[in-house]
Amino acid sequence: KQEVTQIPAALSVPEGENLVLNCSFTDSAIYNLQWFRQDPGKGLTSLLLIQSSQREQTSGRLNASLDKSSGRSTLYIAASQPGDSATYLCAVRPHNAGNMLTFGGGTRLMVKP
């Protein structure tokens, strides 16, 4: 059974710092991995999608990497801003599970001005 873990569970940093959020998964048989942002009480906004054959994806100040063989992904946020404060979730799409996503518990990020 696929399990996804995100560390740390919560993070508080001053504005301007570069930071790394970690995601690990137990079964490397995945089709892709997706990073989401969630504001309190809101839905999920897709940030980056990495296919299993890819190593990284970039969008603006965000960079996500994928090491499928070791079951790890990282989300790098450059020059953090207070507006980046949110919960960040990673999710994998396991083989033989249709379009089902298996989520981690999320990292709650607070960027202080």
Partner 1 sequence: ETGVTQSPTHLIKTRGQQVTLRCSSQSGHNTVSWYQQALGQGPQFIFQYYREEENGRGNFPPRFSGLQFPNYSSELNVNALELDDSALYLCASSLELNPRRDTEAFFGQGTRLTVV
Residues that bind partner 1 (CB under 8 A): 4, 6, 31-32, 34, 36, 41-46, 49, 51-53, 89, 91, 93, 95, 97-106
Peptide bond into 8 cis (omega under 30): yes
Phi, psi dihedrals of residue 110, rounded to the nearest 5°: -125, 120
Distance CA 11, CA 40 (A): 15
How near is the Cβ of 53 to partner 1 at its closest, in Å? 8
How near is the Cβ of 50 to partner 1 at its closest, in Å? 10
In this structure, what token pair is assigned to residue 91?
């999710």
Which is nearer to partner 1, 78 or 110 (by Cβ)?
Answer: 110
Which is nearer to partner 1, 76 or 103 (by Cβ)?
Answer: 103
HSE, side-chain direction, 13 A CA sphere, residue 85: 11
Which is nearer to partner 1, 69 or 113 (by Cβ)?
Answer: 69
In this structure, what token pair is assigned to residue 105?
């518990």
How near is the Cβ of 16 to partner 1 at its closest, in Å? 28
